[in-house]
């Protein structure tokens, strides 16, 4: 081939490489990745002598594009491609590039930004969703340099889950708060905030039936001072769970009363007042609560039996005053 022809071919190759890699010049990094990858792989199918050093010159732009593409998607669940794909390729193919050491700091900076946002209020549930996405990305990466970032993400997710649950409760989204705090207590049983998460979940469940029960965020602390006795009895078919919230929040479960049945409803009772737990004391399963003084909301949830349906609930209120003892008889009425 004559020198003039070689010159023309070289110019055409330069134009070809420049055209294919245009997204990199335009800083459209995710679009640049597959194009630069293609150019870098041309020596496998095209004469190496003809290509010269052009494919090797794509290493730096490709490493840069992989980094920028991955960094742009951190915390975004809908971002394409998944950041871990870009970062994994960068760390695998270009571990000695100037961009590989930037991956861990990019994750750490994103985690810190969102952790700071949690402390500042705002929308903690949205922020926590992003932290979960970051955590999932890090779970899908095995490079040792990311271990510290993964630990930071786990801690931030835990903090975010609790902040989200408390915010949902304050916003009166009790079903969401119940789900979030139940999951928190299960996922982080040794957390210092696990007790409060359980209390918030209980109060949220009561508040679903009686919104006034959600007026104050429950504390996980055990209150001091004097306690009043409340003896709770089960005069109904099926095991029953009693949830309560007020100055103290908790729940207890009473076994089924084997010989107890439903009481007649408003129509059959003809307005007569129901007198529950009037039989021998030994007949009724019992438990004792020790409650600080104050206003309480209760919710009884009964298990399924032949005469009651799982999920049968009944809410009630009580004022506990110092120096008194109380009884609470749980029973069921028919719907008519």
Across the chain, what does the average pLDDT equal?
91
Residue-wise pLDDT for 48-101, tens only, equals: 877 888 899 999 999 999 999 999 999 999 999 999 999 999 999 999 999 999
Structure confidence at residue 308 (pLDDT): 40
Structure confidence at residue 335 (pLDDT): 60
Give the number of domains in the chain: 1
Question: 74 vs 23, 67, 80, 128, 162, CA distance in Å?
Answer: 21, 11, 11, 13, 22
275 within some domain:
yes
286 within some domain:
yes
CATH, residue 310: 2.60.40
Contacts of residue 200, defined as CB under 8 A and 6 or more positions apart, other chains included, come to 165, 166, 169, 177, 181, 217, 218
9 within some domain:
no
Exposed/middle/buried for 76, CB within 10 Å: 0-12, 13-18, 19+?
A: middle
Whether the pLDDT of residue 273 is over 80: the answer is no
* Measured distance CA(147)–CA(143) in Å, rounded: 8
284 within some domain:
yes
158 within some domain:
no
84 within some domain:
no
Number of helical H runs and strand E runs in the chain: 12, 7
| Higher-pLDDT residue of 308, 161 | 161
Whether the pLDDT of residue 327 is over 70: the answer is yes
**pTM, whole model, 2 decimals?**
0.87
Domain span holding position 291: 228-331
127 within some domain:
no
Residue-wise pLDDT for 88-125, tens only, equals: 999 999 999 999 999 999 999 999 999 999 998 789 99
Residue-wise pLDDT for 180-230, tens only, equals: 999 999 999 999 999 999 999 999 999 999 999 999 999 988 888 999 999
Whether the pLDDT of residue 310 is over 60: the answer is no
């Amino acid at each position: 081939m004559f020198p003039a022809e070689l010159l023309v071919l070289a110019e055409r190759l330069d134009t070809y490489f420049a055209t294919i890699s245009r997204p990199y010049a335009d800083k459209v990094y995710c679009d640049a990745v597959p194009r630069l990858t293609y150019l870098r792989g041309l020596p496998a199918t095209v004469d190496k002598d003809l290509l010269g050093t052009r494919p090797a010159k794509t290493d730096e732009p490709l490493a840069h594009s992989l980094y920028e593409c991955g960094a742009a998607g951190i915390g975004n669940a809908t971002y394409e491609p998944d950041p871990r794909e870009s970062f994994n390729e960068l760390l695998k193919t270009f571990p000695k590039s100037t961009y590989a050491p930037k991956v861990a700091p990019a994750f750490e900076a994103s985690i810190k930004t969102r952790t700071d946002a949690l402390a500042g209020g705002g929308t903690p549930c949205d922020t926590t969703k992003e932290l979960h996405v970051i955590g999932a990305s890090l779970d899908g990466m095995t490079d040792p340099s990311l271990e510290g970032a993964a630990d930071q993400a786990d801690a931030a997710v835990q903090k975010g889950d609790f902040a989200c649950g408390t915010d949902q409760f304050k916003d009166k989204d009790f079903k969401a708060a119940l789900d979030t705090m139940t999951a928190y207590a299960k996922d982080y049983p040794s957390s210092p905030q696990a007790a409060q998460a359980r209390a918030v979940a209980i109060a949220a469940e009561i508040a679903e039936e009686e919104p006034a029960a959600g007026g104050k965020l429950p504390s996980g602390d055990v209150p001091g001072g004097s306690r009043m006795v409340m003896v709770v009895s089960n005069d109904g078919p099926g095991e029953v769970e009693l949830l309560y919230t007020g100055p103290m929040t908790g729940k207890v479960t009473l076994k089924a009363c084997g010989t107890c049945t439903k009481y007649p409803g408003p129509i059959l009772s003809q307005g007569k007042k129901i007198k529950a737990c009037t039989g021998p004391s030994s007949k009724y399963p019992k438990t004792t609560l020790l409650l600080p003084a104050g206003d309480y909301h209760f919710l009884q949830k009964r298990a399924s039996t032949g005469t009651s349906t799982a999920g049968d609930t009944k809410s009630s209120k009580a004022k506990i005053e110092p120096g008194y003892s109380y009884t609470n008889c749980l029973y069921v009425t028919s719907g008519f």
